[in-house]
Each structure stands twice: as structure tokens, then as C-alpha cells.
Structure 1
Amino acid sequence: MKFGFDELFFSRTDSRGKIKSGNTVFQRVSQYSWDELLGKPHNTIRHKDMPRGVFWLLWDQIRKGLPIGAYVKNSSKNGQYYWVYAIVTPIENGYLSVRLKPSSAVFEGAQEQYQALLQAESDGDLTPAKSAEILLASLNRLGFRNYQSFMTQGLISEILARDRMLSVETLSTVRFFHELLLESGKLLETATRVTETYHSFRFVPLNLIIQAGQLGNTGAAIGTISNNYSLLAEEIRLGLDGFFEAAKKVSDTICEGAFLLSTSIIQQEIAEVFAGEAKTSEIDHACEMAHLDRQRGLYAARAVENLVNIQRELEEFARGAAEIKRLTLGLAAIRIMGKVEAGRLANSVLNDLITDLETFQQTLSTGMTEILSLNSALWQHTGQLLDAYGDDTKVAAA
């Protein structure tokens, strides 16, 4: 069933998933009459090719009061199918689902994942929960850290693709959040690399201490140096544990903000679309406008609140990164003393171990410099987002 990129549609259900209302595009695309839709389960339009795991994830989220986005294949009355990207948000006594036409590369990947998941469900007689678990594992292998990351990348990608299709300029807030998502991904990758670097070299100071012990009194100085290095490296390890968790929190907060902002934009548009539709006797137009306006205002406010949270998380993360950077400089001083002593002893094993320490320290230092630079860029873009959000809000209200 065809519908255009310029068309958005919505439906509202009660808490049990029974259809309470929608707009004319929803009714037209479904090909059911309002009498056939109202009061019926929303799965009336569900296509048989949809994996059960997707709906398990959807219901798991919205029952917790959280919004969710998902690619959904629906079926019209005559058996034709149509794909949507659905944004489902909890409302009073039910749920609101706003849909747009998908076309991005993320959508193409989702279709492949759905086909594989359907096959797995068929072959293994999976429960919906197990199916959802397999889907999450597949998304993780594709580079999405969790489902929130996937649904956010999907929504941002669909808005950008839709704007290209319609030859309209994308709101600056969406563009800035797209940059933030890319930068936060790099931040998390670098934080992961730095943490893994520590673990790959964590036994070098101990090996140095053992080697120094084998040298007896001759190795006393190198033993002391190695012990100091080991103590400082342990401080860095403790710092890295909190630092990595902070990096994940920054990434999650940015991801949440991008989804909230994009949702508010789509809800703004669907409210405008519905306001211009002809009134029908089956739908209480004023009641639905009130629902749409409440959701639009709620998610717009939550998007702004999230931007402030992002700045707070970035400040905390920057403090932790700067502390690890300081400790890394301390490692450099101790390593140089060790290099001098190893050279004096002319011991090839010690020299090799000191070289390993040098590689570790330089890799760590380079990574932390990169992280602080990324953090600065994230901070700058967050500030631009706050400014742009105010400008976009004024444009929307005009």
C-alpha cells in the first residue's frame, strides 16, 4: 500500500492496545473503515512477517512509561503491505503511535535483520522474549550498543532521508544532534580502546618487579621504580573504571536526547497535519488535538531538559578524563627513570619491558588527548544545540 513521504499518520490506543482514534491517512492506508478499526486490537493491521521479538521490545518499553521507535511492516485490508517507522509514546490511559515512511540505509539493514529473526523464530519455536534477545545481539554485532542506539539512529536517519526526498532543509537541531551522535560514538570507541590498552599492559609492571627481584641488590632501584609505576597504574585503573562508565552515560544521554528531540519534531508536524484535516463524525477532533498538543509540549520540554543533562554529564566526564591525563603524565616521569636505570644495568629483558611501558604510556596519553578534544567538540555542539533549539522553536511557533 503506497503513501507519500509528505504524509504522516497516527493512531491512539487504550492501555490494552485497542484502537481509539487516528487520522484520515491512517484510515486510508489501512483500507479499513472507521467502524472496522475503532475498538479493535491494533494488531488487526499487523503483518505476518513481523518478528514477535520486535513487539516484545515495544511493549516492554511502553509499559515502563518509556517511548520507543521501531520499523514495522503493516498489512492493509486487501492484503497489501506497507512499512513505517513508528514512534510510540505512552499517554494518559493508552499509547500514541506516529508513523512516517522509511527509506534510509538503517531501514534496509532492519529488513535483513527481521528476515533472519523470522527464520530463527520459525526454526527454533522461540518465545517473544528470546526472539528479542537474539535481535539485540544481532544489533550489537552491527555496532549498535543497545536498542536505544538503534532506534535513535533509525529515527534521525529517517528524518534526514525524508527531508532529502521532500527537498526541504533539515532543522539545525537535527543536524547538530546527528553530529553529536557521531562524536559520542567516537568518544565511546576511544574510551574502549584506552581501557583495553590498560588491560593489555597490566602485567608489565609486575613483570618488572619480578625481574628486578631476580637481580638482587643490583635491581633494587628498578624494583622501587617498578613498584611506584605499578601503584600509579592501579590508580589509573580505578579511574578508568569510572571514566568508561561516564563515557557510556554521556553516549546514552546524547542518544536519549536525539530521540526526544526528533520525536518532538515529528509530533509537532503531525499536530499541524491533523489540525488541517477535515473533521469526521467518527473522531473527536478537539480531543485528539488536545492529546497531540500535550505530547508535543511534553517531549519538547524533555528535549531541552536533556540538553542541560548532556552538558552536566560532559562536565563530569571531562573532570575524570583530565585526572587520568594527569596520572598519565606521572607515568611518563617514572618510566624515564626506569629507562635510565635499565640502560645502566644493560639488561635486555628490562629494556624490553621498559619499551612496553613506553608504548603503554604513549598510547594512553594519545587516547586521553583525543578524548579531551572530542569532549570539547561535544560541549561546543551541545551549546549550539541549545541556541538552535531556541531558534527552531521560534520558527515552529511563527
Structure 2
Amino acid sequence: MNTMTMREFDSAKREPRARAAAEVNVEEPFNVEEMFFSRTDKRGVIEAYNSIFIRVSGFSSEELKGAPHKLIRHSDMPKGVFWLLWNGLESGVPVGAYVKNKTKDGRYYWVFALATPVEGGHLSMRIKPTSPQLALVEQLYRDIRKLELEEKLSAEDSARLILSKLAELGFDSYGAFQAHALHQEFEARRKALGMPAYNDLRNTETIAVTSEKLRHELDELTKKFKGAELLTANMKIFAAKLAVGRATINEIAKNYDLMLNDIRNHLNTLVVPLMGSGIWDAPKELSAYFMICASHLMTEMCEFFESQKSGVPGVDCESEKDYLIGLQKAYDKQSQKAVEYGVQSAASIQRRAEFLRRMVLGLSTIRIACRVEAGMLRGKAKGLETIVSRLDVFHDEIEAHLETIQQHVSTILLSADDFA
């Protein structure tokens, strides 16, 4: 990360115009339907905000404008969270994070913040977190903050520790965690406000869940074909014991092996792409969750700001509305790209799965040849008959997997049709 940016953000080069009182363990309430935002320059100095931010923070418009955003930072917040936030913003990606802030009179309030780079700086939209995820995060932050103080961890070391703790919880990256968290908060808020479900999110959820099932099915299919090596090995062992028909059985085993190898190579092209290994990498389906939720929230933020903008002294409301609308359009575009990627992946798998089915049909003809040879050998082929029976079971299992894969792909493509 660019350490100079962190230093500028943390030191601010001047004292803030206002200071918060000593922290007290009292929560500052705000309603679940309320949304607020602030926009800063690249150093984290506040340039704009809405009326809800003024009211909740307790600072006046004059005190907020031109002050460093750390004016509202609560001492319970791990440094590693801000390291991750700035790392993401400097990487040009939106960042979602749970943040505990403090008010002017020292009270605290929790938000789920969605911060995004904009021209000249960053814009952070906040909602009230209401999902069970918040309790998990509160404990995580307490543990991390305790270690920061006891072991004098740097912000970067703290961020690494946060990532390792999230990995233990099943999140392979911060990108995967923030996507899950925003979706949880979005849905909890929607239900609390009695709002109807969004079709795009419901369809994306279907695509995400089905894609995971598809990965599992393809993994199982790959394992099955790898295990089939034992069948041809047994066939070759049996052939070595034959006085008559050895060459034929060996040839059958050889052809079966060659076809299995071709199929295994083809299976590698069927794998549903997983996420990369970076901090901000996440499966495309999760990325779609994140951006769709962000788009809907920003649409609501635009409407909310329009209804409240008369009470924001010192802020060019029309200019800020343009920022909000621009972000909403960007979120919407990115969500569409994520969904399209999942659909294209499913369509590709469908084509490749059809080709795989034809390859398996070719493999089945070799199995039939083995069965015919076993019949010709009659009493001399007891061991071979057992192998043929196992081949039959193997092919039945493969057919079942291929059928399930086709069902999953069809489900994804049908869900995707609703986006058209």
C-alpha cells in the first residue's frame, strides 16, 4: 500500500477544527431507513455530506467541512480495517466495511460503509447494519484491536490478521467477505422496511447457489474419471492371466485408457473458474451480489438525498447528486458484467458438457466390446465379468452426473433470461 497516503490520512497536517468528547459506551441511534454519505478528497479530508451525517455525528456543517474524516474515528476500530479500506480505494475498487464511529459527544454508532473512488477523492455511503453478521464482526474487531495494542501491530500486520481470521470463517478474501456482508445487510434492511424482494438479486442468488453446485458436480465427475484408472489396471492384470484372448483384452484396456485420458483433459476445460488469490478477488457470482446491492442502495441514496438536500448548508447539492448518480450507473454496469460472466461461463459449460457426453458415448462402445469379449470367453472370464459389471456401474454414475450438470446449467441460463 502507498504508505504516504496513510500518513497523510492519519496525521492530516493540521489539527481538526473540532474535537469529539471522551468516548462513552452509549449508542447514538439512527433509523434503519436513514442513509448518509460523505465525500472526501484523496487525503480523507471531508468535502461534502448530507443532513443525516450532520445530525448523527453531532458536528455542525462548519465543523465537518475541511476536517479530516478521522474526526469521527472510534478507538475500538482496528487499524487493519482502515489499511484494507485504503488499499482497496487505491486499487480502484469499491470497499464495504463495518465501521464503529464516534459522535461529537463521544457516543458510538455502527455503520456498514460502502466507499468508492470518485473524481478527486472518495465517496462513502452508509447504512445501519441490522444483520446477525454485525455481532460476529464486533467480536472480531475486539480480538484484533486487543492484539494490535498488546503486540504493537502495524496497520498492515493487523490487516493480514483480519484476512486470516476471515479465512477461518470461510472467506478466502476480503472481496468475498464484503460481498457476503453487503448482501446480508441489504436483505436484513429490506425485510425490516417491508420492501419486496428484488428479482435481480433473487436470480443472482439462484445463479450463485447453482454455480457452487455445478462446481461440486464437476469435481465429483473428475474424481470418478480419475478412479476409473483402477478399472483398466484390473483389466490388464486379468488379461495377463489369459492364455486365449489376452491381446484383445489388452487392446480394449489400452483404448479405454486413451479415451479416459482424453476425457480427463476435456474435463479441465469444464471447471467453473474460481476466484484469484488477491485481497479483492471474489467469485463472479458474489461480485454480482455486491454490485447489485450497491446499485439499489445508491438509487435509494439519490432519492433520499433529493428529499433531504434542503438541510445541508455549505454543500453544492446538485453537484453531490451528480456524484451519487454517477456511482449508481457505475455500480449497475459492473453488476451486469458480473452476471454476464456467470451466464457465459454456464453457456460454455453446456457446450462442453454436450461434447463430453459424446466422448462418454464413445467410451461406452469400448465397454460394450469388453462385454462381448467376456461373453465369448464364457467360463474363462469370471474376473472379466466382474470388471464389466463395475464398468456398468461407473457409466451409470457418469450419466447421472452429466444429467445433474445439465440441470444446473439450465437453471443458471433460465435465471439469466430474467436479466435480459
**TM-score between the two structures when normalised by the length of structure 2:** 0.79
Cα pair distance change 1:270/1:197, threshold 3 Å: same
Counterparts of 1:3 and 1:322 in 2: how far apart (Å)?
55
Query: What's the counterpart of residue 261 of structure 1?
Result: 292
Larger Rg: 2
Q: Does 2:317 correspond to 1:294?
A: no
Q: Is the 8 A contact 2:215 2:272 kept in 1?
A: no
Is the aligned partner of 1:185 residue 2:216? no
Q: Quote the sequence identity (%).
A: 31
Question: CA 1:371 to 1:293, structure 2 compared with 1: closer, same or farther past 3 Å?
Answer: same
Write the distance in 2 (CA, Å) between the matches of 1:223 and 1:375.
Answer: 38
From the two aligned structures, give the one with the greater helix fraction: 1
Per-residue CA shift, 1:356-389, capped at 9, x if unaligned?
A: 6555544443233212211111111111133xxx
Preserved CA contact (<8 Å) 1:88 1:98? yes
Asked whether 1:234 is paired with 2:257, we answer no
**1:240 Cα shift?**
2.2
Task: Tell me by how many angstroms 1:6 deviates.
Answer: 0.6
| Structure 1 residues 234-285: Cα deviation after superposition (integer angstroms, max 9, x where no partner) | 2222222222144769x93332222222111111111111111124332222
Match of 1:207 in 2: 233
1:317 aligns with 2:349: yes
Q: What one-letter code is carried by the residue in structure 2 that aligns with 1:299?
A: Y
- Distance of aligned partners of 1:227 and 1:272 in 2 relative to their CA distance in 1, 3 Å threshold: same
Look up the match of 2:317: 285
SS of corresponding position for 1:331: helix
Cα pair distance change 1:346/1:206, threshold 3 Å: closer
Determine helix, strand or coil for the equivalent of 1:99: strand
1:21 aligns with 2:48: yes
Q: 1:31 — aligned with what? A: 58
Question: Which of 163, 172, 175 pairs up with 1:148?
Answer: 175
Deviation at 1:347, TM superposition (A): 5.5
Residue 393 of structure 1 aligns with which residue?
A: none
CA contact (8 A) 2:147 2:153 kept: yes
Contact residue 239 and residue 249 of structure 2 kept, 8 A: no
* Matching residue within 79, 88, 102 for 1:61: 88
Asked if 1:329 corresponds to 2:361, the answer is yes
Give the number of aligned pairs. Answer: 383
Q: What does residue range 1-398 of structure 1 map to in structure 2 within 5 Å?
A: 1-118=28-145, 121=148, 125-199=152-226, 201=227, 203-205=229-231, 207-208=233-234, 211-212=237-238, 214-215=240-241, 218=244, 219-246=246-273, 252-277=283-308, 278-338=310-370, 341=373, 344=377, 345-346=380-381, 348=383, 358=392, 360-386=394-420
3-state SS in 1 of match to 2:418? helix
User: How big is each residue's C-alpha offset from its partner over 1:276-301, in whole Å with a ceiling of 9 and x where there is no partner?
Assistant: 11243322222211211211222223
Q: One-letter code of the match for 2:56?
A: V
Structure 1: segments with no counterpart, 5+ residues: 387-398
- What secondary structure, in the 3-state scheme, does the structure 2 residue paired with 1:89 have? strand
Matched with 1:391 is none
CA distance in structure 1 between the partners assigned to 2:135 and 2:152 by the alignment: 26
CA contact (8 A) 2:51 2:311 kept: no
